[in-house]
Amino acid sequence: MKDVLILGGVKIQTRLFTGSGKYRDERIIGDVLDAAQCDVVTVALRRVDLEKKEESFVSSIPKNKQLMPNTSGARDAEEAVRIARLARAMGYGNWIKIEVIRDSRYLLPDNLETLRAAERLVKEGFEVFPYMNPDLDMGRRMVEAGAAAVMPLGAPIGSNGGLKTAEMIRIMIELVDAPIIVDAGIGKPSHAAAAMEMGADAVLLNTAIAASGDPVAMARAFSQAVSAGRTAYLAGMGLERQGAHASSPLTGFLGADE
């Protein structure tokens, strides 16, 4: 059976999503996407000069990619809604990653405002991808509101901290009835693999690729890690073992008919 992820009615082949910020030269983005065979790429509308759309970095993204504009810079639901509408009006499609951030120190998302934006944007026909602090009930509410997937963070944006919130994400994977895309904090391919081994449906990361010495090679490394993690998850991994196993069975004293 082919392992395909469907989001907002679109078949996604590669479970590594990436971004378009922090690059030393945006013209490299096309090569990065090729190397990682990414289908989905998120773009910050704040970086697009609305008057000079054609000159924007978005035009260096190959046309066959699924754009996921994000609402970076929004401080409340109202601003997020406005940015989403502008993104659609610019011709960037109807996917929107909702980022509502009111904390400049760690850039942690405000789940309540994010939910409010999600409720409104779903009603306006967007495929909504909320970026959120991993919280089971808020995740469920996002899905009840009609989110196409939820995007809990592994660690603060740009921190390369790995899966600091692993247990909360695991709980969401188990109980939230929608695809889970782990977003933010993934600093190494091994972090991405770990998220996929846990059963995440996809991961989104940017800094670790964009700010690395060789973004194209790093993108390839992440792609392989995501793929390995996914394969391992599907194969069903053995439980981690504490200490050695006794070679003779501990229940050997029981007879076969007992």
Task: Give the nearest distance from C-beta 83 to another protein in angstroms.
Answer: 5
Distance CA 14, CA 190 (A): 17
> Is-contact 97 42, C-beta < 8 A?
yes
Q: Show the CA angle centred on residue 70, arms to residues 183 and 65, nearest 5°.
A: 85
Which helix (DSSP H) or strand (DSSP E) does residue 190 occupy?
helix 189-197
If binding is defined by CB under 8 A, does position 188 make contact with another protein?
Answer: no
Considering only the stretches 154-162, 219-227, 231-239, 246-254, report the one whose residues sit in contact with another protein under the rule CB under 8 A: 154-162
Out of 64, 104, 242, 251, the residue judged to bind another protein by CB under 8 A: 104
Nearer to another protein, 93 or 156 (CB): 156
* Active site (annotated) includes residue 52: no
Nearer to another protein, 75 or 140 (CB): 75
Give every CB contact of residue 144 below 8 A, 6+ residues apart in sequence: none
Q: What is the phi/psi pair of residue 32, to 5°? A: -60, -45
Distance CA 257, CA 249 (A): 16
How many residues bind to another protein according to rule CB under 8 A?
Answer: 33
Out of 14, 160, 165, 227, the residue judged to bind another protein by CB under 8 A: 160
Task: Give the nearest distance from C-beta 22 to another protein in angstroms.
Answer: 2
| Interacting residue ranges for another protein, rule: CB under 8 A | 21-26, 45-51, 73-75, 78-79, 82-83, 86, 102-107, 158-160, 207, 210-211
